[in-house]
Amino acid sequence: MLAGQPLSEMGLRQPNRLRLRVTGSAEQALRSGHPWLFGESIREQNREGQLGEFAVIYDRNDQFLALGVFDPDSPIRVRILHTGKSLAIDDHWWAARLDRALERRRGLFDDQTTGYRCVHGESDGWPGLVLDRYEETLVLKLYTAAWLPRLAQVVPLLARRLNPARLVFRLSRNIQSVAANLFGRADGQVLHGAPVESPVIFLESGIQFEADVVRGQKTGFFLDQRENRRRIGTLARGRRVLNAFSFSSGFSLYAARGGAHSVTDLDISGHALGAGRRNFELNHRDTHVASSPHEQIQAEAFDWLSRNRRRKFDLIILDPPSLARRESERQAALGAYGRLALSAITHLRPGGLLLACCCSAHVTADEFFGVVRRAAARSGRKFKELETTRHPPDHPARFPEAEYLKAIYLIEQR
């Protein structure tokens, strides 16, 4: 195991500090607040850097420019913590940084919503780190190995400030072997408090959901779609609803509670559909949920949509996983988003409503809205655009690469 990095490091001028000089364009990007420094932008480095240590970046006049955490094995070599004037990163600084993120959420959610994001990575000043709350359970997820050496300090800070029943630790796939081999940490481990005995139940807009915080995708639930789910709850009355890529029936439950005529889940994963059934059971006391017929179809969505043309709906939700996971997949993904929207439209009854979502950061909002609008035009039917949406307030996006989520609502005009 590597020695842990203290969370607080005074004395930025210490002689052996990792010091970097960078290209002019990187300097400009950092100055304007961009949180990433790529390895290819480093012009000078005084020595090799260790995983998770602080790196100080100096500008061309040898003035302090920024400070961040170093990762020798990632193309994003430094994730920036602070830009501007030189300062000491001490315990107070970390506590204040956490408080600022928590303060941003104050008043956003009442006691009917106990699942939401508390810390959203770079855009909250915690690069590559996410903290979600599900009732009394916190889930800390790392997307960069650079935090691993500082966990022993980060976890107590979170526990002190938020006092959870437990804190579950999650790791993105690409850093799981480093975490296991160098730090003895495993995905799904409980780092603080009581063990997880069953799926965690929490509330979103008064609806009960389970989150598989130990094994589930993301941190166990797609918290980022809350505002779109709420909107669907207000649009579903009397409609036959198809929830394509339904995961654990999130949109379906809002639609059912909102008085949908019926709801159909379509997902490739039996595990997701199982969670959806349990979520419907959890909410059976709601008379609308209890009386709305709930059907589930386990199938590949593109394939099912093309083979079952006779099935018609009044409201279709398309929330696929990211179809462009890297830049090289962008063009192909645009084509796929367009085909998916057009295919869904052929299942819409007259006057039907389509919600098309995209969660790929490699596709811009304008590109995505463009392909969906063109698909609607190509269908030969007349649609009105109800609205487009972006990130919810607990998932702020403060730089272009962070803007992954976008959605567009179209309703057919009769």
Q: How far is the CB of 355 from ligand SAH (least distance, A)?
A: 10
Amino acid at 250: G
* Among candidate residues 345, 362, 363, 365, the one with its CA nearest the CA of residue 354: 345
**Contact status: 137 vs ligand SAH (CB under 6 A):** no
Q: How far is the CB of 383 from ligand SAH (least distance, A)?
A: 22
- Whole-angstrom distance between the N-terminal and C-terminal Cα of the chain? 66
Binding mask 364-393 for ligand SAH (x = CB under 6 A): ------------------------------
Contacts of 239 (CB under 8 A, 6+ apart): 255, 260, 261, 313, 314, 315, 352, 353
Task: Considering the complex, state which of residue 65 and residue 207 has its C-beta at the smaller distance from ligand SAH.
Answer: 207
Q: How far is the CB of 7 from ligand SAH (least distance, A)?
A: 34
**Contact status: 254 vs ligand SAH (CB under 6 A):** no
Rg of the Cα atoms in the chain: 23
Among 210, 227, 319, 367, binds ligand SAH (CB under 6 A): 319
**Residue range at the interface with ligand SAH (CB under 6 A); choices 8-16, 80-88, 94-102, 245-253:** 245-253
Task: Considering the complex, state which of residue 102 and residue 361 has its C-beta at the smaller distance from ligand SAH.
Answer: 361
**Contact status: 189 vs ligand SAH (CB under 6 A):** no
Joined together, the tokens standing for residue 80 give: 């920036």
The CB-side HSE value for 186 (13 A sphere, CA atoms) comes to 5
Contact 395, 401 (CB under 8 A): no
**Residue range at the interface with ligand SAH (CB under 6 A); choices 1-9, 192-200, 263-271, 281-289:** 263-271
**Contact status: 343 vs ligand SAH (CB under 6 A):** no
Per DSSP bridges, beta strands 294-298 and 207-211 are: unpaired
**Residue range at the interface with ligand SAH (CB under 6 A); choices 30-38, 68-76, 100-108, 264-272:** 264-272
**Contact status: 140 vs ligand SAH (CB under 6 A):** no
* Among candidate residues 40, 39, 49, the one with its CA nearest the CA of residue 19: 49
Among 22, 168, 272, 376, binds ligand SAH (CB under 6 A): 272
**Contact status: 264 vs ligand SAH (CB under 6 A):** no
**Contact status: 227 vs ligand SAH (CB under 6 A):** no
Task: Considering the complex, state which of residue 139 and residue 272 has its C-beta at the smaller distance from ligand SAH.
Answer: 272
Among 245, 368, 383, 404, binds ligand SAH (CB under 6 A): 245
Task: Considering the complex, state which of residue 162 and residue 268 has its C-beta at the smaller distance from ligand SAH.
Answer: 268
**Contact status: 134 vs ligand SAH (CB under 6 A):** no
**Residue range at the interface with ligand SAH (CB under 6 A); choices 111-119, 243-251, 338-346, 392-400:** 243-251
Binding mask 71-100 for ligand SAH (x = CB under 6 A): ------------------------------
Q: How far is the CB of 103 from ligand SAH (least distance, A)?
A: 27
Task: Considering the complex, state which of residue 46 and residue 388 has its C-beta at the smaller distance from ligand SAH.
Answer: 388
Q: How far is the CB of 272 from ligand SAH (least distance, A)?
A: 4
Q: Where on the chain is the footprint of ligand SAH (CB under 6 A)? A: 222, 225, 229, 245, 247-248, 250-251, 267-269, 272, 300-301, 319-321
